Amino acid sequence: MAMNQMSLSAFLFADANYNRVGWRHPDAVADAGLRFERWVEFTRILEAAKFDMLFIADAVSAPGVDDHETFCRTAWIAGFEPLTLLSALSQVTKRLGLAGTVSTTWTEPYNTARMLASLDRLTNGRAGWNLVTSRNPDDALNFSKERHVEHGERYAMAEEFLDICRGLWDSFDDDAFLLDKESGQFVDPEKLHILNHRGKHFQVKGPLNVPRPVQGHPVVIQAGMSEPAREMAARGADCVFCALPDMDTAKQFYADVKGRMSKFGRDPDTLRILPGVTVYVARTQAEAEAKFDLLLSKTSVDYAIHQLGATLGMDFSGHSPDDPVPPLKPNAGYVDPEALFHDVRAQNLTLGQWALRFTASKSHFTLVGTPEKVADAMEAWFRGGASDGFNLLPPHVPGSIQDFAELVVPELQKRGIFRKDYEGRTLREHLGLNRRGDRSTRAEPAYAAS
């Protein structure tokens, strides 16, 4: 992909709808977590629109389960495990990249490297990994632990975890598999590499029992905005997904993360920064605003405040919806507290007003308007050093992705900033990133062996 064209990804939760009450929209699919054929429909829309990838979010626990009444109003508690779903979708797609979330806190590096290498083979080079450390304290209770791992320690684990996965993906050179029936030599022993990793958090001998991924390494996506997340992104990610509410904040983040890459010997052009964007688009401004208002009307203020508290790990039960927003915890965990407060400060919102808006977009960039207005804003960010593209957060599906594909994509294509057809076959090619060569082609390995 030419560097003068933006990347587009679509980000879907287990129930598909990004808005927490999106499943209540009259035209929304409410059973995507129960029926595989719904996902086939979504991927066909995205592939026809030439999106780079489908990006599926995940969590290993259900926040707020102790409040059964509120919990049972939440659609995203029913969904498929991402890599299982993406493996199935690999057989009904040809070009669309397929990325899924796997936590480095609650899985093992060997299993993760093996699953992702397999997915990259099944997709013929279209696999991506959304690397997260997990933020919900209840996660620990599902893995025989009493409490969550501390934030800084989670990122230290994640750094080591990623190094191990990279080392395992390099277990074999590209041409290691001889499959020579005459000699009986299946693999060239000179092109086999044993990891023998012994670190602070993990011990992994290797090698991986899956051939080298088609892309060399699957695409690694880092989601987060904290200081450790920025460092990790600069050091080893291929893509960054982030919550940036306005262009000025986005430009600062973009410059900061890309500016850190040189100390790791990396070219800034080897990283794609894709902020989330929630889009309500229609042929007229009034129609677009009506779409936004309709979903907002489906959300009760009490539910919105409860969900906000569950996301941030805060208890708002002693506050009225009409109260000012109380101070956030310094380590709010979901995104940078300063980014969260952007709307509050700019518009002097009450707790209830902010909670409703947060439920709709979670402080991501939000666009409500005509195709031209939406494209104008996206182009300004892309050309203005604020992003390399966007991660679309569809409020409800399939309507929101269909609207974007039919109304916004042609406008972006007309401006020459988005492809009219796929130029490559792998996800790295879609993103304009080089294939990761094997050890024989690199001066240094991409991992720490001990």
Where residue 173 falls (left for φ over 0; alpha for ψ -120 to 50; beta otherwise) is: beta
Asked, for residue 359, whether it belongs to a domain, the answer is no
DSSP 91-156: TS-SS-EEEEEEESSSS-HHHHHHHHHHHHHHTTS-EEEEEE----GGGGGGTT-SSPPPHHHHHH
* Helix extents (H) in 214-350: 227-236, 247-260, 285-297, 301-312, 337-340, 342-347
Asked, for residue 419, whether it belongs to a domain, the answer is yes
Asked, for residue 401, whether it belongs to a domain, the answer is yes
Site of tokens 């049972």:
72
Number of domains within the chain: 1
Residues in Cβ contact with 242 at an 8 Å cutoff, skipping those fewer than 6 apart: 223, 224, 225, 253, 273, 274, 275, 276, 335
* CB-based contact 399:311 (threshold 8 Å): no
Q: Nearest-5° angle of CA 75, CA 80, CA 83? A: 140
| Domain span at 278 | 7-282+365-441
Q: CATH number for the domain including 397?
A: 3.20.20.30
DSSP 359-416: HHHTTSEEEEE-HHHHHHHHHHHHHTTS-SEEEE--SSTTHHHHHIIIIIHHHHHHTT
Name the token pair of 121: 């083979």
Asked, for residue 123, whether it belongs to a domain, the answer is yes
Amino acid making up residue 16: A
Please provide residue 56's backbone torsions phi and psi, each rounded to the nearest 5 degrees.
Answer: -105, 125
The pLDDT value given to residue 179: 96
Asked, for residue 355, whether it belongs to a domain, the answer is no
The pLDDT value given to residue 124: 98
Residue 273's DSSP bridge partners are 240
Cα–Cα distance for residue pair 239/223, rounded to 1 Å: 9
Site of tokens 């690397």:
131
For the chain, residues with pLDDT lower than 50 are 1-2, 332-335, 445-446, 448-450
Cα–Cα distance for residue pair 359/297, rounded to 1 Å: 12
- The helix/strand/coil state of 187 is strand
Per-residue model confidence as pLDDT tens digits over 340-381: 666 676 678 899 988 888 877 777 899 999 999 999 999 999
Per the confidence metrics, is the pTM higher than 0.75? yes
Asked, for residue 305, whether it belongs to a domain, the answer is no
Asked, for residue 308, whether it belongs to a domain, the answer is no
Q: Exposed, middle or buried, 279 (CB in 10 Å: 0-12/13-18/19+)?
A: buried
Asked, for residue 47, whether it belongs to a domain, the answer is yes
Cα–Cα distance for residue pair 36/224, rounded to 1 Å: 29
Q: What radius of gyration do the chain's Cα atoms show?
A: 22
